[in-house]
Amino acid sequence: MSMVFIGLICPSKNNREMWKLKKEVGSLILKAVKERKEAESENDLLQMILEGANEVRPHSIDSFIVDNCKNIYFAGHETTATTASWILMLLASHLEWQNRVRDEVIEVCGGSLPDFDMLRKMRTLTMVIQEALRLYPPAPLVTRSALRSTKLGELNIPKGVNLWIPIIILHQDPEIWGPEANKFNPHRFSHGIGKACKFPQVYLPFGTAPRTCVGQNFAMVELKILVSVILSKFSFTLSSTYKHSPAFHLVIEPNHGVYLLMKKL
Ligand code: HEM
């Protein structure tokens, strides 16, 4: 059976809003760059991007800076930071999984910082991250534009139409993930993504095909290191002030933050 997963098809005139937003983000970045150039130079990523910009042709300097800032600060930072918050929230509210992952961290790392081999061995931790990315994919949709009229399964898609592929809906469809689709259950990934649901191609936290996330392996390494180091030093529960309110602000993030009560081990 061939399936087409398209949530919303919208005409290209919505592109105007998108371009306006893009321009505004670009101006904000260039304003921050101007401030930096007028202040002291610092040893950080922005400075490296500015130094890199000296190597490009003068008319491309602004777009080089804006594109690289968007890639690293938005694509690379917000997504991973938000995922880390959701993972900690889920582990704080599912103590059996918190203990299980901590046992694995202690067994595999034995008190030292994780190296590459150790990260590979921590399968329960991987399952927990995969399940957090299923329930709270920071990028809730990916988009594609039809550059020419095309046919997807039974669906005719005219040239110029934008396709929105709603990752978050695909990730929680009970017909695909079973009646407990909304529950946190990392077990579903115990035999890999291929066996986690009826149509594993719908699991798209990092997008798909040629434009799939270039930073996905790096993000997984960052998340594994962060969570394993925290678990090896602390136990934690959710604070009573935590209000569950996932909100879509370009990424899906906890609207009121995640407050945890940490206890040193
Ligand atoms: C948990 C962390 C992350 C998630 C969930 C995530 C998710 C995504 C998604 C859904 C896309 C769109 C893919 C598509 O359209 O098919 C994407 C693209 C991209 N991501 Fe990530 N990302 C993460 C971390 C990172 C990191 C750490 C970096 C870089 C250091 C990064 C750099 C990029 C770039 C450059 C693209 C555009 C790729 C292209 O259009 O060719 N991402 N990401």
pLDDT above 70 coverage of the chain, percent? 94
Residue type, position 3, single letter: M
Tell me: pLDDT of 258 over 60.
Answer: yes
Tell me: pLDDT of 144 over 50.
Answer: yes
Ligand 1 atom closest to Cα of 223? 1
Lowest mean pLDDT among 37-41, 184-188, 224-228: 37-41
Residue nearest to atom 8 of ligand 1 (CA): 206
Choose which residue among 72, 79, 133, 213 to substitute to test ligand 1 binding: the one with the highest number of ligand atoms within 8 A of its C-beta.
213
Q: Does the beta carbon of 98 sit less than 6 angstroms from any atom of ligand 1?
A: no
4 pLDDT band, cuts 50/70/90, is: very low
The answer for residues whose C-beta is within 8 angstroms of residue 225's C-beta and 6 or more apart is 113, 114, 119
Q: Does the beta carbon of 130 sit less than 6 angstroms from any atom of ligand 1?
A: no
Residue nearest to atom 39 of ligand 1 (CA): 211
| Predicted-complex ipTM score | 0.99
Pick from 126, 258, 139, 261: which is nearest to 207 by CA?
A: 139
Buried b (16+ CB within 10 A) or exposed e, 204-225: bbbbeeeeebebeeebbebbbe
- Per-state percent for the chain, helix, strand, coil, to nearest 5: 55, 15, 30
Average per-residue pLDDT for the chain: 91
Whose tokens are 């690289």? That residue is 68
Ligand 1 atom closest to Cα of 210? 41
In the prediction, which pLDDT does 14 show? Answer: 57
Q: Where is 44: in which H helix or E strand?
A: none
Choose which residue among 5, 72, 79, 251 to substitute to test ligand 1 binding: the one with the highest number of ligand atoms within 8 A of its C-beta.
79
In the prediction, which pLDDT does 252 show? Answer: 92
Q: Does the beta carbon of 71 sit less than 6 angstroms from any atom of ligand 1?
A: yes
Q: Does the beta carbon of 80 sit less than 6 angstroms from any atom of ligand 1?
A: yes
**162-174 confidence digits (pLDDT tens):** 999 999 999 999 9
Residue nearest to atom 12 of ligand 1 (CA): 207
Ligand 1 atom closest to Cα of 218? 27
Tell me: pLDDT of 55 over 80.
Answer: yes
Q: What is the whole-number distance in angstroms between the Cα of residue 229 and the centre of ligand 1?
A: 24
189 pLDDT band, cuts 50/70/90, is: very high
Average pLDDT rounded to a whole number, residues 18-45: 87
The answer for residues whose C-beta is within 8 angstroms of residue 93's C-beta and 6 or more apart is 184, 237, 238
In angstroms, the first-to-last Cα distance of the chain is 52
Of 191 and 44, the one with more pLDDT: 191
Tell me: pLDDT of 18 over 80.
Answer: no
Asked whether 261 and 91 are in contact (CB, 8 A), the reply is no
Q: Does the beta carbon of 138 sit less than 6 angstroms from any atom of ligand 1?
A: yes
Tell me: pLDDT of 2 over 80.
Answer: no
SS3 call for 48: helix
In the prediction, which pLDDT does 15 show? Answer: 64
In the prediction, which pLDDT does 250 show? Answer: 82
Q: Is 69 annotated as a binding residue?
A: no
Q: Does the beta carbon of 145 sit less than 6 angstroms from any atom of ligand 1?
A: no
Measured CA to CA in angstroms, residue 251 lies from 59, 150, 168, 254 at distances of: 32, 30, 11, 10
Q: 251 phi and psi, to 5 degrees?
A: -115, 160
In the prediction, which pLDDT does 6 show? Answer: 44
Domains of the chain: 8-264 (1.10.630.10)
